[in-house]
Structure 1
Amino acid sequence: MRRSLHMAEDPHELIAFTDFWACGLEESQFTVSEGPSVEAYVTRWSVLVNDLTAEQRWPGWGAAA
């Protein structure tokens, strides 16, 4: 399982990640302004993605991921 951690005050500030693949996925979300981390920040709810290849909630980010 890959994970990342952001500062609560600034979601664009990535402070920890399990590997560079996870880091790249996080950065791509802020580039396209959508994805699970962006949604979690906006809604203040946890977001779980079981299968990136089948995910349809964020089409711009899915293509970038």
Structure 2
Amino acid sequence: MPLLKKHLKYLISLTHNLKPVIMVGQNGITENILKELEIALDFHELVKIKIAGEEAAGK
């Protein structure tokens, strides 16, 4: 079931105070990143992901 826009905005607002739990580097999303993401989601439910070289305008 897709998220409603209102619910998505709410979830994004919750992440403003979170520090990134997952860091994606130059190699992109690898099998190890996916495993770590699964573990992080089990533990935190909501995680923030930082992508290397991410520009504010590119979000």
TM tier relative to shorter chain:
0.3 to 0.5
Bigger Cα Rg: 2
